Structure formats: C-alpha cells, structure tokens
Chain A
Amino acid sequence: MQKRTWLMAAAMLASVAPATAQTIYPLNRAEILEGSRFDFKVEFPNAPASADVKVTINGKAVNEAFGREAQFVQNEEGQKHSALWLRGAQLPAGQYVIEATQGNDKATVNWTVYATPERKAKNVILFVGDGMSVAHRTAARILSKGWEQGLYGGELAIDDMPHMALISTSGTDSIVTDSANSASAYTTGHKSCVNALGIYCAKNALTLDHPKVETISEVIKRKRSGMAIGVVTNSEIEDATPAAMVAHTRRRSDYNDIVKMFFDVQPDVIMGGGSPNFLPKSTPGTKRTDDQDFIAKFKEAGYALATTKTEMNAAVAGGSKKLLGLYNTSNIDGAFDLRLAKKGSISKFPDQPDVVEQTKAAIEMLKGAQDGFFLMVESARIDKYSHSLDWERAVFDTIMLDNAVKVAKDFAGDRNDTLIIVVPDHAHPISIIGTYDDDRPGQLLRDKLGTYADSLPPNYGPRDADGYPTKVDTSRRLAVAFGSYPDTCDTGRPYLDGERVPAVKGPDGKTNVANEKDCTLPLATRKQGNLPFDANSGVHAGDDVLLTAMGPGAERFRGHKPNVFVFRVMAEALALGGK
C-alpha cells in the first residue's frame, strides 16, 4: 500500500517528479526464509548516476548490511533506469526497513526475515490440484462417493484432514493469477507476477535476468544433502507447477531453459509428460533449438529412464532412487480418457501411468532417503479441462488427485513424521447448479435443467474399485456451469469423442468463435461469450481456494492465509531456516 500511495503522490507532482518511483525487490511486506538466497535489486527511474542515489537497510549501507559488494548499473540495458544489484543475498532473521532515496524521493519497503523452529517433519508431500475449486471437490464427492438424502456415501481423502485454511492466490501484478506465479509462491515463499517463476518481475529485457528467489528444491539441495526431492505431474514436466520447483524465468514458456534448470537442480524423481524439450534438435519430434541431449545427460547423471508405466514400475522394482519418467510428448492423458473414453493420446501412448501410480512409485523411491524427502505431486489437468469447459474430465482428475492423496496418507499412517498438504493453486469460476434430466419435458437444454427441488441426484453408472463412475453419459447428469466462456455451444453432456474444444479462431485470426462441431449436437445451445474476443477458453477465477493438511506442522493452517504462507509452513516443518 505504501508504494501505491507514493505512486499516487508522484503522479500528482508529475511535472517535477519522475513518472515512476524507485522499485525495491523483494517487494514490500516480503516474508523471507532466514538464509534463503534472493537477488536484491533497486531500480531508479530516469537513469541517475550512482552518486545521486542512496540505499539503506535498517539505516546501514547495502554493502555493510549484506556483507557483500552491490553493483550499480547506470542506464541498465539502455533502458531509462539505473539499477543496484546484489545477487544471491542472504539475511539473518529480523525486521528490515529498506529505503531508496533519489533526489527528494524516497521509496521504503519492509521485509520480515524469519527463522524456523526445530524440525517437526521428516517428509513433506505437497499436492497441488491445479485450478481445483470447491465445485470440483463437491462433484468429485458426488461422483466417487455417492449421494443419498443429502448425505455422501463417504469422505474424500482430501477432505478428511484435520487442518484447513482459505488461501488467496493473487500475484504481485493482478487480482487473478496464473499457475506459474501461484506455484512459485508455494515453492519460494515470494509472490510473483503472471507467467513468472522463481523471480520478481523487474524491468529486465531478457526473461532469465530478473531478480531470482530460491526455490525449496534449491534450499534443500544446499542445506540437506541427505534429503531427496520428487516432482510428479501429469502435465508436461516443463509446465508451470512442476517448473516452479526449479525454475527462474519471467516467461513460463521457456521450456528448453526449464529442462536445463531441472538438470541443474537435479530433483531425484522427475515424472511427467513433455519429452520433446529433452531431445536434441536433430531428433524428429524434438522441440529443442539446440543440440543438447538431456535424456543422455540425465542418464549420465545416474538417472534411470522410464517412458512407460511398465518401465516406471521396473525401475522401482529394480531399486532405482533416481528416475526421469517421461510418459508422453505432451500432457499425460487424464483419468477420463485413461479409463472411459480412451481418446486423447491413448492410442499413441497406451502405457501411461496415472497420477496415483506415479505417486506410489515416487514415494517408493524417495522413502529410503536418510534425511527424508520433499515430494510435489500435481494433478494438472483439473485446470486444463476446466479451461476447455470439460467439467467431467476435470472432475475425474480431481478423483485421481484424491486417490493419490490416499496413497500418501497410507504411507504417512501413524508415522507422525510426514506433513501432507493438499492445495489448489488458483480457482476456476465453476459451480454445480442442478442436474440435466433427459426425461424433463421440453425441446431445449434449459428445459432439461432441474434446479432446486428438481435437481434430482444423477444416475451415473456404478463406480469402479477406484471410485470412478463407469458410465457418465446417462439420462440424469450434474449440471455444472462455468462463469467465464468464449462464444460456445453447450450440450449438457460429457464429451466422449475427445476433450471439448469450446471455441476456435475465426477468420481474422484474432476473434474466437463457437466450435460449430458442437453446435449441431442434440440440445446444443449457442451461448454468446462473456470474455474478451481473444479468449478461446474459460479463464481462472480470483476466488480463494481450500487447503487441507495433516501431519506435523499442519496445525499452522487456519483461517485465511496468502499462498506464500504455504511455503513458510513447509520450511518451518523441515527447519530450513538458518545461515
């Protein structure tokens, strides 16, 4: 707030004061783990000389406060600002006031650097349900546990946990976040901006030059040689959430750089899709633009390689402790396609593990680590299928997350040494509004919608042993509404022929129009979009999300917390603070 007030004051003095203020990174109110590394940067508008500016930390000169020499860059990158840099700074616990003075203007930020108490947990397992909102959860419970007279047939593993908190997910730049900076908040404890990972968004031109903050993987690698790290997802391994474990970039789509960052940090278990960015550019099917062969590099570094579920299980059975598992060129297919529809890329990749099987394998490989492990598991396509307004697929992947959490809970058992956290990274605007009943009178989709007293329970087919309904295209189905959409045609039915494509690009190459393929289906209802014309799918919501947790350290979660607090709880549980 302080900064904003200052900006307004500056704007009022526009004729004499610079148009923008000095910016200090980390930003105001940052909470920093004691001893964790961060790049300190101050940007001064109008490219002043070193002699014209002054920066103090608790009243001391920068060099003295950090015990190292800062660099001053006048006219950085030819831009109209100067910069003071100190890369890889570390501070002891305490309260810090940083002041940057330029002429008559002074910018001030406050940081809290916190120590961590005695170690409470040997292991931490962080489950991220990408985009998982309350309606996904409720629908997953209805589908997988059943519903009768207002009560469910059982509890989800993600619900049956003693601690809970409401988590806010905004980044530094906007109300509604994306999966890059929201995951980065969990893995670094610092907020960032849309599309960014492991950095503060400064004025730098190159995506890899922005001021970095240390990820939990890097802290663990630096401080705890006996601890193992796992990163498991069903998205491409370079995608935002898994990348947040290792990456520092302003642009999440720097996939080729992110592969290198995985190699630099070397988490012990790495599993997901997205193999093309590991292959040298001479290999057909690659997406690299250089000749680096990261498959070979990981093998040389002692990793077993698995490209199928069979190979994954063989690696586990063979006692591998380091595994690179790449099971698809793109995202791993979701539970709906793996089990029911068999669309997506199932024909090309018939032996992909799901998130539950990956989680089992990862825990099996990590659990022997002498000083414990940190495992991040993402069910990524809850979000992706919600973007495409394909709620059945999103909810199947919520059930899949729940089953993966069950595996972790079975491992944790009575050990009392494993902190398990289940948290979405952001919400989608999704709600259950009733049920579609084909037997209701009328010719239109809206005639078939039963609301309130008419929202009779769905008649999905019997559930299999893992809690997934075996038939979803039945006569009475949940009616799930998305609050944001492009021009599209709703059908009120599951998309058995493949993931829904709600809109396609129009002839101008910019505006998106309804996917006519859906508009001819029975009961299809044409809907005018409520999003800007360049949107082709649903968008994230700024709503808070629900975190549940159990195990040592989980008691810290209560009430409402910012997303960066999740990092703090994990760092405290593992006692990662200190010089």
Chain B
Amino acid sequence: MISHRPHLLPTLSRRGLLTGLAVLPVSLRALAAEAELLTFDGLYKSFGVLGFQFSDRATALRGKPVRMIGYMAPPLKPESHFFVLTREPLAICPFCQSDADWPVDIVVVFMRAATPMVSAGQKVAVSGRLEIGSSTDAETGFVSQIRLVDAGFHSV
C-alpha cells in the first residue's frame, strides 16, 4: 500500500517490538536547565481552521535549545529515534489505527539516538533544538511543521 497521508502507516515493520528493555530514559536535567521553557499554549499566536501562525516567541527561539512538557503519543515501537509530543495524553495510536488521526498541534521529537519509549500516559519533559517550518521526514514520509531535534527526554 502506498501512503497518501502525512502519517506513519502500519506498513512499517512492527517486528522485534518486544526486544526493547525497560531502561530509563537518559536524564537531561543538566541540559534542560539552560533551555527556555516553551508551552503548547505558547507555540501559536493564531490557530484557525485555515492554518495557524507560530508565536513571536516560538519564532524567536528557532534554532535554539528549548524545553517542552507534554505527553508521549503511543509510539509505534518500544525503542525509537523519534516520537510525537502531544498536549493531552492520546488514547489512540494514530500510527497503529487506520481511523485514528493526529491532533493538529503536535510537536515531533527527533532524538540523538534510538531511545526506549515510556508509557503514553506519562508526562515527559523534552529538551532539544527548536525547528520550525514544513518538513517531510525522508525515512517515514511524516510531514511536520515544528520539531525538537537532537533531543532527549525524561518522565516528569
């Protein structure tokens, strides 16, 4: 099947999913201390049906280290180099279910290395460099507008 959507579809291999170990995520408190805290509410200046505009603060922090707090969306794999950060905990895994969809105000987190994921009910603090602008991930075809790259996270 060909993906027509900006989503990872279940065509991705889910084999070997159970090999992940219950290793605690890397603690990044030291790095986090230097980064500016950006909230979901503070990301946008306008948020409308016809698209949204990033806030002046978010635009100013482009390329700089920031910290965000949110919920890890149900990941496709127990260990991954990226995950989706959402404002509210997501019950449904849009990666896994054909009739589920992402909220619009997601932030995609790309980590420095593949990292074991935590429960989707868990609040996480993420630190990383803020990227803004439409980008299509070469590997997955996932289109995102805002990203934290070279990131790490810990449960809060």
Contact = CB atoms under 8 A, between A and B. Distances in A.
A490 interface: no
Given A207-B1, A284-B54, A508-B20, A536 B145 contact: no
A503 B49 contact: no
A528 interface: no
B6 A287 contact: yes
B92 interface: yes
A514 B146 CA distance: 30
A501 interface: yes
B6 A326 contact: no
B31 interface: no
A285 B5 contact: no
Given A283-B51, A285-B52, A388-B91, A509 B17 contact: yes
Nearest to A327: B49
Contacts of A534: 96
Contact of A505 (B20, B93, B136, B145): B93
B4 A289 contact: yes
Interface stretch (B62-70, B71-79, B107-115): B71-79
Contact of B53 (A205, A276, A284, A508): A284
Contacts of B103: 330
A353 to B, nearest CB: 12
Interface string A504-546: 1111111011011100000000000000001011000000000
Contacts of A284: 51-54, 134, 145-146
A382 to B, nearest CB: 16
A72 to B, nearest CB: 25
Nearest to A258: B4
A279 interface: yes
Interface string B102-132: 1110000000000001111100000000000
B13 interface: no
Interface stretch (A13-21, A247-255, A361-369): A247-255
Nearest to B18: A508
Interface string A207-251: 100000000000000000000000000001001100000000001
A289 B75 CA distance: 22
A418 interface: no
A289 B119 contact: no
B49 A275 contact: yes
Contacts of A206: 1-2
A425 interface: no
Contacts of A326: 49
Contacts of A328: 49
A23 B104 CA distance: 42
A256 interface: yes
A282 B99 contact: no
A464 to B, nearest CB: 28
A256 B5 contact: yes
Contacts of B119: 504-507, 513
B91 A536 contact: yes
Contacts, number: 145
Of A276, A287, A504, which is in contact with the most chain B CB atoms at under 10 Å from its CB?
A504
Contact of A285 (B7, B99, B145): B145
Interface in A246-270: 251-257
A178 B99 CA distance: 10
B143 A289 contact: yes
Given A206-B1, A251-B98, A504 B6 contact: no
B89 A504 contact: yes
Given A505-B74, A505-B121, A509-B75, A289 B98 contact: no
A189 B79 CA distance: 45
A281 interface: yes
B116 to A, nearest CB: 8
A505 to B, nearest CB: 4
Contacts of A195: 98-99
A138 interface: no
Contacts of B49: 275, 307, 326-329, 349
Contacts of B141: 289
A328 B134 CA distance: 21
Contacts of A288: 6, 143
Contacts of A275: 49-50
B60 interface: no
Nearest to B14: A510
A348 interface: yes
A505 B120 contact: yes
B113 to A, nearest CB: 18
A286 interface: yes
A330 B87 CA distance: 15
A502 interface: yes
Contact of A287 (B5, B20, B93, B96): B5
A295 interface: yes
In the A-B complex, the 8 residue pairs with the smallest Cβ-Cβ separation, listed nearest first, are A504-B121, A505-B74, A505-B120, A285-B51, A307-B49, A283-B51, A275-B49, A329-B104
16 contacts: A178-B99, A253-B101, A284-B53, A284-B134, A285-B48, A285-B50, A289-B5, A289-B6, A295-B50, A330-B103, A349-B49, A504-B89, A505-B119, A515-B89, A536-B92, A536-B93
Given A178-B99, A285-B50, A507-B119, 18 more contacts: A206-B1, A240-B99, A251-B98, A252-B98, A253-B7, A254-B5, A276-B104, A281-B136, A284-B51, A285-B47, A287-B102, A330-B104, A504-B74, A505-B121, A508-B78, A509-B93, A536-B91, A537-B92
